[in-house]
């Protein structure tokens, strides 16, 4: 989305293409135009459908523009947005999606930071092996990995059978189709997206800061909280965005591992599109989800801009 905004900003004047750096700008324009075609244009189409009647959604302008007696009439339907604002189900679904995305992000940070720290401080010869272990799950289908957790967390699954065999429990624990199974599945799926940016940030940290802190009498824990954590703040924010944003709209994991009490916005979108066949309402929900996701992205972009400006000064 940031690249699209840069592209639109640059295309305002023709000089951006024909100026002194025309070659460099033209190279930048190619991926920017691709991003616009792949993301901005589909979003505008969804926005048009959300403002149209269902029976006119398939027309070129979705019934938004009409020509009557020499007059161009713009008709925008906001009833879907008003219905979403008044319906408690959608509000609770949005809040539920934000809650589970925030929990997933916090747990991924709690698990991923020590792992990324260990990777960054490991010998350079074994870092590629550790990196491969982090990326190894991506070699397997995402759907198969989620299905594997169904076999692990089922009432007679691998985990319950192991606990019963060890004498820890007497009866199987109900873990499937609960908030627990949902969070476990989401943490497992998105943990690498937290580890990788943290590792990329920590591995570049200048160790002389820690040596200076030790010379000034700081304990290892004090040096960690006052030097390592602040210097890795950009990696923390980047990892949090990479986990939080897709977690908000997640559909597969809530559908396979979640239960009735773990309703998230992705499942609501599926029902609106394919069960109720109400594309206008589903598009309205989609637009609100995108706007909801843009807020943390804007915060992250502002933070990076301020950080870059501080480093230049």
Looking at per-residue pLDDT, the higher value among 270 and 243 belongs to 243
Partners of residue 169 on adjacent β-strands: none
Nearest Cα residue to 137 out of 197, 195, 199: 195
pLDDT tens-place string over residues 45-89: 888 888 877 665 555 555 666 666 667 767 777 888 888 888 888
Q: What's the pLDDT at 307?
A: 66
**Those residues with Cβ within 8 angstroms of residue 45's Cβ, 6 or more apart along the chain or in another chain:** none
> Residue 63: left if φ>0, alpha if ψ -120 to 50, beta else—which one?
left
- Tell me how far apart the alpha carbons of residues 294 and 291 are, in angstroms, rounded to a whole number: 5
Q: What's the pLDDT at 138?
A: 85
* Ranges 159-168, 190-199, 290-299: which has the least confidence: 290-299
Q: What's the pLDDT at 67?
A: 63
* Ranges 12-26, 104-118, 156-170, 233-247: which has the least confidence: 12-26
Most confident of 16-20, 93-97, 257-261: 93-97
- Tell me how far apart the alpha carbons of residues 268 and 289 are, in angstroms, rounded to a whole number: 11
How buried is residue 291: exposed, middle or buried, by Cβ count under 10 Å (0-12/13-18/19+)?
exposed
Distance between terminal CA atoms of the chain?
27
SS3 77: coil
pLDDT tens-place string over residues 6-42: 544 544 444 444 555 666 777 777 888 887 788 888 8
Nearest Cα residue to 199 out of 246, 238, 227: 238
b/e code 43-73 from CB counts within 10 Å (16+ = b)? eeebbbbbbbeeebbeeeebbbeeeeeeeee
**Residue 72 backbone phi and psi in degrees, to 5:** -90, 120
- Tell me how far apart the alpha carbons of residues 263 and 258 are, in angstroms, rounded to a whole number: 8
Is pLDDT of 137 > 50? Answer: yes
Radius of gyration (C-alpha) of the chain in whole angstroms = 24
Average pLDDT, the chain: 81
* Ranges 10-19, 269-278, 280-289: which has the least confidence: 10-19
- Tell me how far apart the alpha carbons of residues 161 and 152 are, in angstroms, rounded to a whole number: 9
* Ranges 85-89, 136-140, 178-182, 259-263: which has the least confidence: 259-263
Q: Are the C-beta atoms of residues 186 and 243 closer than 8 Å to each other?
A: no
**Those residues with Cβ within 8 angstroms of residue 38's Cβ, 6 or more apart along the chain or in another chain:** none
Residue 225, number of CB atoms within 10 A of its CB: 12
b/e code 81-103 from CB counts within 10 Å (16+ = b)? beebeeeeebeebbebbbebbeb
């Amino acid at each position: 989305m940031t690249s699209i905004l840069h592209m639109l900003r640059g295309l305002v004047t023709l000089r951006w293409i024909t100026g002194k750096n025309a070659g460099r700008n033209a190279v930048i324009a190619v991926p920017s135009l691709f991003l616009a075609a792949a993301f901005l244009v589909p979003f505008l189409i969804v926005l048009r459908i959300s403002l149209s009647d269902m029976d006119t959604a398939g027309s070129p302008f979705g019934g938004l523009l009409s020509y009557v007696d020499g007059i161009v009439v713009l008709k925008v339907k906001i009833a879907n947005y008003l219905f979403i604002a008044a319906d408690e189900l959608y509000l609770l679904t949005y809040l539920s999606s934000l809650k589970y995305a925030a929990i997933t992000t916090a747990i991924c940070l709690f698990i991923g930071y020590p792992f990324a720290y260990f990777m960054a401080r490991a010998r350079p010869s074994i870092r590629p092996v550790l990196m491969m272990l982090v990326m190894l799950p991506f070699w397997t289908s995402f759907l198969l990995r989620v299905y594997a957790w169904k076999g692990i967390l089922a009432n007679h699954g691998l985990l319950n059978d192991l606990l019963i065999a060890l004498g820890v429990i007497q009866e199987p624990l109900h873990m499937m189709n609960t908030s627990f199974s949902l969070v476990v599945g989401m943490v497992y799926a998105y943990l690498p997206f937290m580890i990788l940016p943290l590792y990329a940030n920590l591995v570049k940290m200048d160790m002389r800061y820690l040596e200076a802190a030790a010379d000034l009498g700081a304990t290892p824990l004090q040096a960690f909280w006052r030097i390592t954590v602040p210097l890795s703040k950009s990696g923390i924010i980047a990892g949090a965005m990479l986990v939080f944003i897709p977690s908000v709209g997640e559909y597969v994991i809530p559908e396979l591992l979640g239960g009735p009490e773990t309703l998230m916005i992705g499942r609501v979108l599926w029902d609106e599109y394919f069960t109720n066949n109400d594309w206008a309402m589903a598009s309205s929900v989609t637009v609100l989800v995108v706007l909801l996701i843009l807020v943390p992205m804007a915060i992250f972009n502002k933070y990076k801009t301020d950080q870059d400006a501080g480093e230049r000064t």
